[in-house]
Amino acid sequence: MYFGKEAVTEGFAYVLEHTFCRLVYVKQRNEYKQLIRRKKQMYREESTNSLINNLREPKLFWKQVRKMTYRCVSTCNIPPDEWVQHFQMVFSECNNSGSFSPTDLPTLSIDCPTDNCECLNESISSSEVTSAIKQLKIGKSPGPDGIISEMLKASSTFVVPLLVKLFNLILVSGQYPRSWCKSIIVPLHKRGDNSVPDNYRGISLISIFSKVFLHIVHSRLQTWVGENDIIVEEQAGFRRGYGTVDNIFVLRGVIDRYLSRHKKLFVAFIDFKKAFDSVNREALWTILNNYGIKGNVVNVLKSMYDSVSSCVRCADGLSEYFECLSGLKQGCKCSPLLFSIMVNIVALEVKKRSKHGVQLMPNTSDIVILLFADDIVLMSDTVVGLQHQLSNLHISAGSLGLVVNVQKSKTMVFRGGGHLAAHERWYIGDDVLETVKEYKYLGTMLSTKLSTNVALTELAGRAKAAVCQICRSLRKLVWVTPEVFSKIFDAQVQPVLLYAAEVWGSEDCSIIEKIHLYALKQFLNVAVKTPNAMIYGDTGRYPLYIGATMRTLKYWLRILRMDESRLPHRVYTMMMNNIETGANWAFKVRELLQNNNLSHVWWAQRVNDETSFLCRMKEGLVNTFKETWLCKLQSSERYSFYREIKSTWEVENYLHVLDKKVFRDIFIRFRFGVSEMYIHKYRYENEYQRLCPLCKEGDEDEDHMLFRCPVLCDLRNKYIVPHVHPDNDKRIMQEILAATETCVIRAVAMYLYYAFQRRCQAIEMSNYDLFTD
């Protein structure tokens, strides 16, 4: 039965006019609200217990954390036709700034005869198919065929022989199945207005069988490319044994070298417009042929790209399919490697034709370019040299369909100070590139003076936002154990704070440590000004500089294991040759080892047992911090009460026992000396009210609150006396505040809670009497 708005309004008016009906209504309303509160509390308790119980079940634990931290994004109202038009424009326009010709490609520096690619065209074995199926990720959305990876993994015993026959038939015939060429594009919002398609990036879902087949092709190509040394050393993207840290280390090392010599270094950061989506496919086939990659594998890839089509998943379902005439196939395992092979031509062109690069040491080749996938860095020690590199890159990239994004590409002049000269400006074609003072390269912020503080401040800002989001989510729970908080922090915040710590880990880390302490104080629900030594002591956490230092040492060991031709090793050698002239990265590593009595390791420049060395180093850093922490407690009067109740470095048991927020908060603040007691509140003032506001008979301090105040005698007999016999012995204070027994901790917390409640009431009554008088 449906009641209109007017009928409901009249019904409420009738109820409120009659006393009996109003009482019934109020009673039912209150019962309903109480029911809601009980259900909310039950849900919070169940969520809390589930999270704690799943600590050793990573999959279930992180599934629940993601559910808690998920922020609902408002859905867009972009119609399907607009999505199709947007992605058609992205995938169907070949952005060629000039006609492509095979003669524009540089001569290959390696010998790649035609018969050298036989391994690429061999028959596919069952072991290859089995390995590819094992590497499929679970929990992923299916493609157009609707088959998920879990199905394939569960039936691999029966499916593998069939797939071997099918894949070999495809390889021999060179014909890629048309149904595998289709994909579903899922738009994911990046930033900005969610009604603008350009603010989304598309994730493509492809057939599960095509994933397995392309995984095998990619594995063969990657092995062949590595064995034949196709990719230039300057490319660190999509390569085993390479990473973002390598390029960051090389670039910072070069910049630091020039700054230490009071010279300028001119650098350009290049960004391409939709690099993967604008690749000229004809240029790609020519490049593969010139490298010696021929035969069935290339025929299959060409067949796949002959009929690539996609649809868009919209709010109302799937859109119509449309052709993708340019670019590399989204979702294809081979696409990143094919792009690396293609952009390798650009790197070779720039290296071959450019001048005035950066020479690390005498009689060595210059560094003119660094690459990480499509992120390109050009560098020169002259203005003319950088412009020459930009011009070469613009021409060679344009012939392959790659167009420089002038708005996002920037230049920087690394220098000790001063203004830019009038001639220090650079062009891409007829467009001027903006010269900036700061630029984020591969996730780390670079400034003109190479200030580490600038980079750490940016990391700290991102990490603090993550901490706030985590704390908001955890407040939905009844309580949080230290293990739960630490696990979430170490997985979601610490990687942000320690990003690229391999490069800056030996320097001052106080900026990021503030975020670590901020997070711990949020967890303990204490003020920001609470002494840090107490925070470390009760949570059992160590400062992040220990982790940062260990990352630096691990990277140092990794550099020592590198081949001498690797760029990080060459930069490290340059640092070693100039170690006495400035405090470079190698100098700081040497200082770090010397401070920990490991000078012999530095002079040997090798470590026989890396595991034991790292364990010894970490143990030394931890012990040094503990000694510093203990000395701080002993030397400052601020910790006079805390050091009486804190004797060992460990996570305090009260953080596990006190599952009621009000009891835990008052217990923590009393331990830390940040409660509302006069001795805590006015600690640094010479004159303040010392008398206990309850009894007015003695000075209010910790001993008086716990054992002396006569007004609290009934609470003391109920909660304290059953566990200890109070006297003025400091060991009794330690016995109850440093207790590990659950019953003692809860009794003391309840005593403090009700005692402070009574104290608050006494102060309010005293203030009321003063006001009325």
Q: Which of 329, 304, 79 is nearest to 175 (CA)?
A: 304
* CB of 396 closer than 8 Å to CB of 104: yes
* Mean pLDDT computed over every residue of the chain: 87
Digit-coded pLDDT (tens) for 207-255? 999 999 999 999 999 999 988 888 999 999 888 889 999 999 999 999 9
Residues 136 and 212 sit within 8 Å (Cβ to Cβ): yes
Residue 140 pLDDT class (50, 70, 90 cuts): confident
From the list 632, 663, 623, 620, the residue with the least C-alpha distance to 755 is 663
Instruction: Give the burial class of 349: count Cβ atoms within 10 A of its Cβ; 0-12 exposed, 13-18 middle, 19 or more buried.
Output: buried
d(CA 69, CA 469): 7
Predicted confidence (pLDDT) per residue in 284-316, tens digit: 888 888 888 888 999 999 999 888 888 888 877
Among 53-62, 103-112, 122-131, 536-545, which is the least confidently predicted range? 103-112
Predicted local confidence at residue 89, as pLDDT: 82
Q: How confident is the model at residue 392 (pLDDT cuts 50, 70, 90)?
A: very high
Instruction: Specify the amino acid at residue 124.
Output: I
655-674 average pLDDT score:
92
Name every residue whose Cβ is closer than 8 Å to that of residue 170 and which is 6 or more positions away in sequence. Answer: 176, 177, 213, 300
Q: Which residue has the higher pLDDT, 74 or 555?
A: 555
pLDDT score recorded for residue 522? 94
**Mean of pLDDT values over 5-22:** 66
644-677 in b/e form (b: 16+ CB < 10 A) is ebbeeeebbebbbbbbeeebbbbbbbbbbbbbeb
Report the SS3 class of residue 313. strand
> What band does 363 get if pLDDT is binned at 50, 70 and 90?
confident
Half-sphere exposure of 256 (CA within 13 A, CB side): 23
* C-alpha dihedral (554, 557, 561, 566), degrees to nearest 10: 80
**Banded model confidence at residue 377, pLDDT cuts 50, 70, 90:** very high
According to the model, what pLDDT value does residue 518 have? 96
**HSE of 152, CA atoms in CB hemisphere, 13 A:** 29
Q: How far is CA 274 from the centre of its chain?
A: 24
The b/e string for 618-639 (b: 16+ C-beta within 10 A; e otherwise) is beebeeebeeebbebbeeeebb
Q: State how far the alpha carbon of 52 is from the alpha carbons of 62, 181, 217, 480, 662, in Å.
A: 12, 45, 44, 8, 20
Could you write out the DSSP letters of every residue in 254-273? HHHHHHHTT--EEEEEE-BT
Distance of alpha carbon 130 from alpha carbon 158, whole angstroms: 11
Q: CA end-to-end span of the chain, whole Å?
A: 63
Between strands 309-314 and 317-318, the pairing is: antiparallel
Residue 273 has a pLDDT of: 86
The two structure tokens encoding residue 274: 């939709």
SS (H, E, C) 456-522: HHHHHHHHHHHHHHHHHHHCCCCCCCHHHHHHHHHHHCHHHHCCCHHHHCCCCCHHHHHHHHHHHHH
Instruction: Name which of 235-244, 273-282, 746-755 the model is least confident about.
Output: 273-282
* Phi, psi dihedral angles at 637 (to 5 degrees): -70, -20
Copy the structure tokens of residue 573. 């050698």
* pLDDT for the residue numbered 698: 81
Interval 647-671 mean pLDDT: 91
Q: Is the pLDDT of residue 373 over 80?
A: yes
Distance of CA 432 to the CA centre of its chain: 34
DSSP secondary structure of 607-619: -S-HHHHHHHHHH
Over 50: is that where the pLDDT of 97 sits? no
Q: Is the dihedral of CA 683, 687, 688, 691 positive or negative?
A: positive
According to DSSP, the β-strands at 434-435 and 410-414 are: parallel
**183: helix, strand or coil:** strand
Question: pLDDT, tens digit, for every residue of 604-653?
Answer: 999 989 999 999 999 999 999 999 999 999 998 899 899 888 878 889 99
Cβ distance 193 to 308 under 8 Å?
Answer: no
Indicate if the pLDDT at residue 728 is higher than 70: no
Q: Give the model confidence (pLDDT) of 19-74 as tens digits.
A: 667 777 788 888 888 998 888 888 888 887 887 887 778 788 878 787 777 666 55
Q: Write a three-state SS string for 27-96.
A: HHHHHHHHHHHHHHHHHHHHHHHHHHHCCCCHHHHHHHHHHHHCCCCCCCCCCHHHHHHHHHHHHHCCCC
